[in-house]
Amino acid sequence: MKPLDEFVRVLRDFDGISRKYVLPQILTRLREESYRGGLPHSLGEDSAVIEMEKDEVMLLTTDSIVEELCLHYPRAAGFNVVLANVMDIYAAGGVPNSFAVALSYSDSQIGEMLLQGLIDGSNKFRVPIVRGHTNPHSGTTYVVGSAVGKVKKRDLLTSGGAQPDDAIILIYDRSGKRGSSYKLGWDCVSDATSESVVDRLSTMSTLARAHVLSASKDVSVAGLVGTAGMMLEYSDTGGYIDMDAVERTSPDSIELEDWIRMYISLGFLVAVREKNVHRVSEIVSNHGMEIASIGHVDGSHNFRLKSGREDRVLFDFSRGPVLTPRDKAVQKRLPT
């Protein structure tokens, strides 16, 4: 394994993480200057939570795909915008039920492939595309999607519930491959049936109903380590990632430096009380997924990489916001 200082340097400069550095400024402005509406969970969560009647809440999320991928791998871009949104809904404990998309392009062949990718994703994840906007004469090429889902209020999973002494656990499907269109992608879905993919994603819905998780996030383009940092900061906590444990989860064909930065297509990071780890493991196994404890939550308000007796601070949240700071005005209210 490389020295921890080298991993710290690589991660701080990694585009999947560094693009998040602008978020504290944006989140602060939106929280302070836009109309709030009194929603208990919105900016900073994987999915916003919208109150509904009776015992359910609506989940809303949005994601886009970078222009480079849209231009060079348009079918993959269309597919992955569905995947990214669906993952956010499942990370909140919900089930997606509809999808809307905005397409922008000038090359009709690229537009056709973007559309085909959207259709592929709709079928793979069993979510209908119900609304859209198209500009076929644009100077830029992009695809932006939004997904809606729902979950019982009592089963809602939040990104901000991690507590000191929780274990940080990776839930993932090891039987994948490096993405053909994105080197730092772990593809567990292209060669899998829709039925098996939905069953694996439903791991999170089952965990939500069991009430055994403190916090939950899907592993985003920030990678495994970046996603953990976002969860800890949003939970107003600190903690560490055990690089030795992470190395044991890495597929044989993937170097550790890549694995810690990878977008894992069926990957989730969760915070779990030690008393619940066994039950979580049972549920994950029943859905054909794998589980590994890779870190620990504490009250330090810094985020560290650890290997053996060594550790290095990656981010010190006590010095100011870094990735996704919690909205202090909201605290940790959940819909009841």
Q: What is the DSSP letter of 96?
A: E
- pLDDT tens digits in sequence order for the chain, 336 residues long: 788 898 899 998 888 888 788 777 877 777 777 766 666 556 666 677 777 767 889 999 999 999 999 999 999 999 999 999 999 999 999 999 999 999 999 999 999 999 999 999 999 999 999 999 999 999 999 999 999 999 999 999 999 999 999 999 999 999 899 988 888 999 999 999 999 999 999 999 999 999 999 999 999 999 999 999 999 999 999 999 999 999 999 998 899 999 999 999 999 999 999 999 999 999 999 999 999 999 999 999 999 999 999 999 999 998 888 887 776 654 444 443
Report how far residue 239's alpha carbon sits from residue 256's, in angstroms, rounded to the nearest whole number. Answer: 20
Q: Provide the H-helix boundaries in the chain.
A: 4-13, 15-18, 23-33, 67-72, 74-91, 108-125, 194-210, 223-234, 243-249, 256-259, 277-286
Structure tokens at 175: 């039987």
Beta strand pairing call for 129-135 and 95-104: parallel
Residue 299 has phi, psi (to 5 degrees) of -100, 20
Q: What is the pTM of this model?
A: 0.89
Taken in order of first residue, the domains within the chain and their CATH numbers are 4-24+157-319 (3.90.650.10), 46-153 (3.30.1330.10)
Taking a C-beta distance cutoff of 8 angstroms, is the pair 85, 62 a contact?
yes
Task: Give the containing element (helix H, strand E) for 304.
Answer: strand 302-307
299 to each of 165, 190, 232, 236, 269, how far by Cα in Å?
9, 40, 10, 8, 19
